[in-house]
Structure 1
């Protein structure tokens, strides 16, 4: 049986300002009405498989769970990485998790941040790969190149037989002249980063070629704990694991590597220009999302999330507007967006890690305004959800209900509030907020005090297991 393993880690820094460390590109709706994670799970519908195993960073766990729940997508467990250690260790964790349960499935390893528009071609390639993987081969999917791309690694294939071939070589991202040669040769494919193999076969190869990674992941999976759908591994053991990709650790060293071509309109959306390439364009070559007004602008990608964006006489540009940041870039230089992210990190700016609107397991909040000794938020609590029982040492809070019903417990006093009603939470008061209703609860929170940081929270009880 096929077990899809969906790797939902990574930061997608080249898609800033939409992609942030705490809400990276796999959780965004970039190419359809579904997020990229939701699309990845949905395209498995024509493949007979076990419920997918999702691997993600621990700080993304509630986003993953909520996106799968809201889309009604069946899934298995969500395996949490306490730290990122690249793809080889992540896949090893999935393989050990299956083997420790007495299984040896065919692992179909997929990234959660790829676009695949031809689902039929994807399904056919998976079926082809399953036949090879059942014969103890380690299969990678090679994307049939459509142009001399310099942003992808390549796979050199041997003689093609029955739509598959032995892998002769993995090669790094080439310069343009080399990429043109690869395209003309006909036996080079883009490296998709998707794989298929038996769990035990992969572990055997990993043990042979990278015993250090094998041992660290084995130790991490020998001491796991579960809560809700989440699997937590031994953090100390995993922190000792080397950082390496599956290509370097296994695929470039094994004698059992095979490549199956996939011509499925694939893209890894590694930049804003890559997204412009695959999107439908208007008569002037523009791709526009949101409230956009163009006057004599051409060949551009414009994404307005919150405000009207108007352009005049622009050509070959990218403009991405969010509530707290705006990117303006030459479309031919968008790979350098990562330099902006690096500079934001160096300056300690919050825009590198989170949006103004922040998602929590109970809902979300939007920071509307802040100044000296005050902050204003719009808080949305999902039906049946409850914030932790908590207190603050440095701030007081005023809550005004806009829609819905709020159940407030304040120093053991319980009160229900509806539209236009409010309450005051003094400094040091132990309190909680719950939505007992059937519709979203929305309220305005006004914080005041000498320190308003999110770390001024002492939690006494939390249904989501946060500390």
Structure 2
């Protein structure tokens, strides 16, 4: 049996703002144990038997960020492939494209295990057992879902009702899918024993998925086939990537795999499982990962309390003090502060929607921004100046570029820099500096084996990130 885990990594994690941003979504958020959800998902996939390749579907802007996470978690595993979306198009498009790609590279009988990158699963052994049961059903042509046994009447999840009259080995045929219920209905689901939380994980033969998509969602099926035909694949030494052609991808219907296929097909089964699953869909869920004190307060970072109870604080850069309050969520980041009542945790997405509508940068990026070559942090900015801390990974290189409106002064803090400044090329050591006038073609590289850290002082009439003309780039980023 060939098993190909398909990790879907995307979304904005709007309920976890201000830590989650469009350019730093939920899978990449640091958890209390120091890990994050995408690394945990990747490790969970690699621990399964018969895994021949891991395919990841993600946005182009998250490609290098995802590669870095995989490399940090399991650098020895190099059999990776990617489907890179130019923009989000929901899960039906992602899963259908993955199935076509898996069938093309591994054959129609390859088993796909679709895993969202932003879920937490505590019991790896139970998960592996559930996957084994799902694979057996998938071999027989079933589209298998994983039904998580509900622990309480949750109103924020969709549900799966099993068909008790149609057992299938370790699973059941699905009777119906149900959208998020009200509390009274959810209590009834829990009491009946016939309903499970819909985990959003799936298992099936690549050929079965392709066949059922053509029957149940021919508009999606036809559009993804046209998109795939017009898209190009790049193959490197350790992985390959399929870059989806934007114009044809825009024609793929924006619909979830649940609506497009699972609710329409007669070949859907569910495997009930108790695997310690959570989708960490709110700050309330995130808070449960931290231990509570005697007053029910939970902290990530440093906080002090007086006559305060049942609060959650995430403040990792400065001390937070809470006096005479209860049931609050307080999340502090360098550029944004969230204060919310726990009963309104699901409403935080309204804030991100408003920020996006207003064009506020805090819905998109943090003050620290990842790049293929490393990262930069904006330390301070004002009228006609900006100060950044830049970290370039070993062998990393910024593009050969030019700015029309700003000059840059670079001071090396640690490591060694190789600099191109117009027709000059030279090395800079710690405590050395150089000046790049506006209009000069320039490049910064790290030729060493440790991180290059430098301070960049920009000055000019316009300091926006889009004042850049790229001439050469080892990461394949477009010019302009």
Aligned counterpart, 1:420? 431
Query: How many Å separate the matches in 2 of 1:211 and 1:400?
Result: 58
Instruction: Give the whole-Å Cα distance in 2 for the aligned partners of 1:169 and 1:102.
Output: 32
Give the distance between the partners of 1:454 and 1:234, measured in 2 at CA. Answer: 25
**Secondary structure, aligned partner of 2:27:** helix
Distance 1:132 1:106 in 2: 10
Contact (CA 8 Å) 2:43, 2:74: kept in 1 or not?
no
Instruction: State the secondary structure of the residue aligned to 1:5.
Output: strand
The answer to whether structure 1 residue 90 and structure 2 residue 94 are counterparts is yes
Aligned residue-pair number: 467
CA deviation after TM superposition for structure 1 residue 280, in Å: 2.7
For the residue of structure 2 that corresponds to 1:94, the secondary structure is: helix
Distance 1:161 1:132 in 2: 8
- Does 2:265 align with 1:254? yes
Q: Is the 8 A contact 2:386 2:458 kept in 1?
A: yes
SS of structure 2 residue aligned to 1:305: strand
Once the two structures are TM-superposed, the CA of residue 316 in structure 1 deviates from its matched residue by 1.2
Does the CA-based 8 Å contact 2:290-2:299 persist in structure 1?
no
The verdict on how the C-alpha distance between 1:172 and 1:31 changes in structure 2, with shifts beyond 3 A counting, is: farther
Deviations 1:192-235 (A, max 9, x none): 00000001101111101111100111111113323343211222
Deviation at 1:250, TM superposition (A): 0.8
Q: 1:194 aligned to 192, 201, 204, which one?
A: 201
Q: Partners in 2 of 1:435 and 1:268 — Cα distance?
A: 39
Matches within 5 A, 1:39-438: 39-44=40-45, 45-73=47-75, 74=77, 75-101=79-105, 103-104=107-108, 105-159=110-164, 160=167, 162-227=169-234, 228=236, 229-438=240-449
Render the CA deviation track for 1:427-446: whole Å, top value 9, x for unaligned.
10001001111211111111
What TM-score do you get using the length of structure 1 for normalisation?
0.98
Q: Contact 1:3–1:52 at 8 Å: present in 2 too?
A: yes
2:389 & 2:245 partners in 1: Cα distance?
Answer: 37
RMSD: 1.3
Give yes or no for contact 1:390–1:432 (8 Å, CA) kept in 2.
Answer: yes
Q: Secondary structure at the match of 2:419?
A: strand
Query: Partner of 1:107: helix, strand, or coil?
Result: strand
Q: CA deviation at 1:284?
A: 2.4
Distance, in Å, in 1 between the alignment partners of 2:326 and 2:93 is 43
Contact 1:219–1:234 (Cα < 8 Å) also in 2: no
Aligned-partner SS, 1:326: strand
Aligned to 1:6: 7
Per the TM alignment, residue 98 of structure 1 is displaced from its structure 2 partner at its CA by: 1.5
Task: Give CA deviations for 1:243-299 in whole Å, capped at 9, x if unaligned.
Answer: 111111111111111010110111001100112234332332222111222333322
Unaligned runs of 5+ in 1: none
1:31 shift after superposition: 4.7
CA distance in 2, matches of 1:388, 1:110: 34
Matched position secondary structure for 1:244: coil
CA offset digits 1:321-343 (Å, max 9, x no partner): 11111111101111000011011
Contact 2:32–2:300 (Cα < 8 Å) also in 1? no
Instruction: Give yes or no for contact 1:109–1:195 (8 Å, CA) kept in 2.
Output: yes
Partner of 1:22: 23
Q: CA, structure 1 residues 258+174, in 2 after alignment: closer, same or farther (shift >3 Å)?
A: same
The Cα shift of 1:173 comes to 0.4
Residue of structure 2 in register with 1:37 after alignment: 38
Distance in structure 1 (CA, Å) of the matches to 2:387 and 2:49: 48
The DSSP-based 3-state class of the residue aligned with 2:173 is strand
2:105 match: secondary structure: coil
Q: Deviations over 1:95-137 (max 9, x none)?
A: 1112222512111001000010111111110011011000001
CA drift at 1:318:
0.8
Q: Provide the C-alpha distance between the structure 2 equivalents of 1:216 and 1:280, rounded to a whole number of angstroms.
A: 48
Shifted more, 162-171 versus 42-51: the winner is 42-51
Cα distance change, pair 191–221 in 1 and its aligned pair in 2 (3 A): same
Moved more, 292-301 or 114-123: 292-301
Q: Secondary structure in 1 aligned to 2:127?
A: helix
Return the alpha-carbon distance in structure 1 between the equivalents of residues 305 and 424 of structure 2: 56
8 A contact 1:149–1:179 mirrored in 2:
yes
TM-score (norm 2): 0.95
Please tell me whether the aligned partners of residues 305 and 323 of structure 1 are also in contact (alpha carbons under 8 angstroms). Answer: no
